[in-house]
Structure 1
């Protein structure tokens, strides 16, 4: 028994190490990391190296625990600002979008797998949600710099759509197992869903408050803070699930709340959970890979692959487009959101539920979902950055690399201790002074420490320590960051020329209109007009169509007010020749343009020859 334990531990440790080392290779070649982890599990499994593992119940519990850890860390790293700018489109995708995806997918499953509509809807619910792990890793680690609203929409959607998919899957498994058919889907299920989401939201907020309160009162040992945060996060997850709420929604909300409050040992917690999330990812995907039996795949490989392609190219894009119609996203942005619909561990976890529910064709659901996840990771995971570049969504960075360490001060101090390494070609290295309010105190150069006042001109590689109010940290980031790389198409991205944001919007209307301003906008400046049309807050690289031109936010000042506006004289190329992915405002623009063309043609006077003929 003891020997078996050590052998099991040895094999598990080797698999984790192989996955960790393979991630370094995957970074170099741009391969999706989660596909690598899943492949290692398949290679080590029963049809590979011969490790036999078929404990579906244990795999589901372990995967759920790992997913809770990932969601808490994802929420902890999501700013309130990101949530605000993306809340409505993301939550629409996480609710209506999942239902639409599952419903559309059901028709393909009926055709290709000869399932009933209800069974097709179950399979659609299993693969209906995007995977938080896959999306967060590819966007945050993959070096894809896109507009904040688009990135936030994808991240918030992936963190909040799991509860809808889980609820639909559990409900449909119960209905199909009971034999009631579609009549089993009644108003009670809707009320149950509302109850689960409400409890998840309420106890997520209360749990976040509890985490902040406890961590800020037990500050005797910094090394214990990450353990407290982890245990309390899992407590929120388990308690909410035990009382009938959505534990996954609760732990994500608790992460968002606690991550956006002043909390003891924040940096230590963030670093600990970043490493723990990597470990959770690796273990979860390896275990799910071990669970699969590839020798069973050939019998359903072709229909499963076709369903994966149907999901990627038809079901997900249509659901996203219909869900995002009311929101002001460009055709390119909506198309990109539709493409970044990666399926991952959540879909495989949910595919275990039909087996645990005792359904006769449970293995069909599991194997089909597994193949669909592989198709998604290969097709979408490998192409996200090229697609973003093709659609013109990768924006030039505002600043280059910055190397800093943030240290929390004990007690209720309003300042933080920040350490920056002076980067090559950074503004401070070029002679720009550090503001006095930053309170620079210490410089470490070549292993020797000295007071800032006696250090003279800063040199590359110096480590500078400053006491600063947290609100001003991002201003210092610009001073210590290296020079931002300049691409050849940066000028095209930001327009042919710039205009002053303080000029009256009427001048813009006179040049590129007229008649494009509403009565409310008549007395605005260009900056106010952009902010108004962007929903009250402008972000770096935001774009707004104004008649035949596109206005672009080139830069913001320290108060996030628009500092520079670019003008692109060429219309944005459509993401597709088909009239899809356009929003309601764009549809209104096109209808208005067509009406103007029609009126212009109808009002055109007849040619002279015709007038002469008529006079005769």
Structure 2
């Protein structure tokens, strides 16, 4: 019992130190997951002297923590984000992971003297991005970028782990059993499709089960988060036991459940958020304890070289080739390539060579650990500066908003939202609450007043409204402070504005000609943008049209375009090298070269 209490005391202290250190990390902008990992290293065998080398336990604990993180990642991913980014994100999560591992394998052979299959194993271990790191840095780091780019990164980080896990386990088994390339046959690929297919199927069924059970048993809100957690782990373990990808299944189940009307949904979100933080802290602490820094010096330089090759060569090339068919700009592809943080998943997978009996198993673990440290240091600390440098930070449309969302019992089609009236917000300037919102109560100076008797709202009033869940974001604009654009932000929206009601044929005549079909020439510029943007246009969305870029400057409450900006310098490259360009960019450049070769002048942009 004394030993138990000592272990519990040490573990609790480490978690507390990690939690408190997160406050400093927020203040100084440090990659938070790096802080957790560093605390584990300081407490380990070469620090405070805690002896820990249980690889099987670490792998099981890490897998459990990863399942919790992936479920929460799926739960907070809107289905709209998945729809607009599903195809490019899944391409990155499959083809991109395979390309990254393959390119990295050659560098591993050069730096470490590995064979190609051994290099492919190390490449598979570090090929996937870390969902916890990407979600944290994008959502909490205050990086406001175009929705399609953000969604692509988040969906990729949530779905690329199964591919990396499958490759790592399969190649580790091949090497551990002495088989070589000849051992990779049709069965290998059938197993992959079986795992992914079962993961998707059981994920959808699991999500349906979670929603059905939660909405049926609504007697106790306190039990709702526990039900969701245990059901999510049931989906994870059941899928894995039947030969599917439990990680993919739990992510899909989370996404399905998170986009449905559920009992006590806000409580579940808050519970999942806290549990995810705990899972991240424990996973990184344990992985830090498992490492032996005294073994790092002998392989430090090759490992750092491999990390830099992964950051500046393998990941960018794989991302570029994967996103080549899609309509991303050079800057956006460059940013996606940079946000390739490695984290706990890579270190967790580095345990597999040790468990599979691969020769020099500790070498894989130590090299991977250094690669993760370099990735968190180099990329984790520079994501926002890189986004600024590439001009991808979208100027804020509204300022801060203080909002609380409250669940209503039963299957009500409305939810209760509370706003605090902020200085300079539109609601104070005379803007009226829309008819579809039902204000109920105002708290003023500690007193409750029915809305119809409150008179004009005052600063610091707390207003309670009943509203349909899909309309809460529209109310945010009324209760948030406006943010004026500065001169630098205005450049983001182009040199001048045009009306979305202008005929598209005028645009074709000025910047084409011949870029529009006969059908497209009969619509307006706004309708053309909506059609090419997948049926829905949002603030700051961009669309290439010949040699210019059309930018959504403003939308109304129903997401109808109110103003369009025109950028006359859309092809400013990320670098002077012809990389990170998509197929459409290549087609435009080939067309311009052909015109130049034939002596036909390229029409200059016109206002």
SS in 2 for 1:432: coil
Structure 2 CA distance for aligned equivalents of residues 99 and 513 of structure 1: 39
Gaps of 5+ in 2: 603-607
Match status 1:546 vs 2:539:
no
1:569 offset after TM fit, Å?
2.5
Structure 2 CA distance for aligned equivalents of residues 405 and 601 of structure 1: 61
Residues 235 and 250 of structure 2 are in contact (CA less than 8 Å); yes or no, is this contact kept in structure 1? yes
Structure 2 CA distance for aligned equivalents of residues 174 and 306 of structure 1: 27
Residues 398 and 480 of structure 2 are in contact (CA less than 8 Å); yes or no, is this contact kept in structure 1? yes
Partner of 1:518: 517
Cα gap change, 1:514 to 1:275, in 2 (>3 Å):
same
Partner of 1:313: 312
Partner of 1:612: none
Partner of 1:107: 106
Residues 595 and 601 of structure 2 are in contact (CA less than 8 Å); yes or no, is this contact kept in structure 1? no
Provide the aligned C-alpha RMSD in A. 1.3
Cα gap change, 1:601 to 1:327, in 2 (>3 Å):
closer
1:223 offset after TM fit, Å?
1.2
Partner of 1:498: 497
Match status 1:12 vs 2:7:
no
Residues 33 and 133 of structure 2 are in contact (CA less than 8 Å); yes or no, is this contact kept in structure 1? yes
Partner of 2:528: 529
Residues 475 and 558 of structure 1 are in contact (CA less than 8 Å); yes or no, is this contact kept in structure 2? yes
Q: Deviations for 1:438-494, whole angstroms, at most 9, x for unmatched residues?
A: 111101112111111121221221111111111221111111112225333121111
Partner of 1:390: 389
Partner of 1:614: none
Structure 2 CA distance for aligned equivalents of residues 383 and 129 of structure 1: 19
Gaps of 5+ in 1: 604-616
1:407 offset after TM fit, Å?
1.3
Within 5 Å, give how 1:94-493 maps onto structure 2: 94-484=93-483, 486-493=485-492
Q: Deviations for 1:370-399, whole angstroms, at most 9, x for unmatched residues?
A: 000001000000000000000000001221
Q: Which stretch has the larger CA shift, 31-40 or 502-511?
A: 502-511
1:304 offset after TM fit, Å?
0.4
State the 4+ residue runs in structure 1 displaced beyond 4 angstroms: none
Within 5 Å, give how 1:37-116 maps onto structure 2: 37-116=36-115
Question: Larger radius of gyration, structure 1 or 2?
Answer: 1
Residues 401 and 484 of structure 1 are in contact (CA less than 8 Å); yes or no, is this contact kept in structure 2? no
1:360 offset after TM fit, Å?
2.1
Cα gap change, 1:49 to 1:231, in 2 (>3 Å):
same
Residues 351 and 366 of structure 1 are in contact (CA less than 8 Å); yes or no, is this contact kept in structure 2? yes
SS in 1 for 2:572: coil
Structure 2 CA distance for aligned equivalents of residues 328 and 519 of structure 1: 23
Q: Which stretch has the larger CA shift, 429-438 or 71-80?
A: 429-438
Structure 2 CA distance for aligned equivalents of residues 488 and 361 of structure 1: 57
Structure 1 CA distance for aligned equivalents of residues 387 and 488 of structure 2: 14
1:302 offset after TM fit, Å?
0.4
1:401 offset after TM fit, Å?
1.3
1:571 offset after TM fit, Å?
3.2
1:255 offset after TM fit, Å?
0.3
1:601 offset after TM fit, Å?
6.4
SS in 2 for 1:551: strand
1:548 offset after TM fit, Å?
3.2
- Count of residues in Structure 1 that have an aligned counterpart in Structure 2: 602
TM-score, structure 2 normalization: 0.98
Structure 1 CA distance for aligned equivalents of residues 561 and 293 of structure 2: 55
Structure 2 CA distance for aligned equivalents of residues 68 and 532 of structure 1: 38
Structure 1 CA distance for aligned equivalents of residues 593 and 49 of structure 2: 65
1:539 offset after TM fit, Å?
2.3
1:3 offset after TM fit, Å?
1.1
SS in 1 for 2:86: helix
Cα gap change, 1:516 to 1:436, in 2 (>3 Å):
closer
SS in 2 for 1:436: coil
Q: Deviations for 1:222-266, whole angstroms, at most 9, x for unmatched residues?
A: 111111111111110011011110000000000000000000011
Residues 173 and 353 of structure 1 are in contact (CA less than 8 Å); yes or no, is this contact kept in structure 2? yes
Q: Deviations for 1:332-368, whole angstroms, at most 9, x for unmatched residues?
A: 0000000000000000000000001112210000000
Residues 397 and 482 of structure 2 are in contact (CA less than 8 Å); yes or no, is this contact kept in structure 1? no
Structure 2 CA distance for aligned equivalents of residues 519 and 579 of structure 1: 33
SS in 1 for 2:577: coil
Residues 132 and 159 of structure 1 are in contact (CA less than 8 Å); yes or no, is this contact kept in structure 2? yes
Residues 78 and 255 of structure 2 are in contact (CA less than 8 Å); yes or no, is this contact kept in structure 1? yes
Structure 2 CA distance for aligned equivalents of residues 601 and 466 of structure 1: 62
Residues 400 and 485 of structure 1 are in contact (CA less than 8 Å); yes or no, is this contact kept in structure 2? no
Partner of 1:610: none
Partner of 1:613: none
1:517 offset after TM fit, Å?
1.9
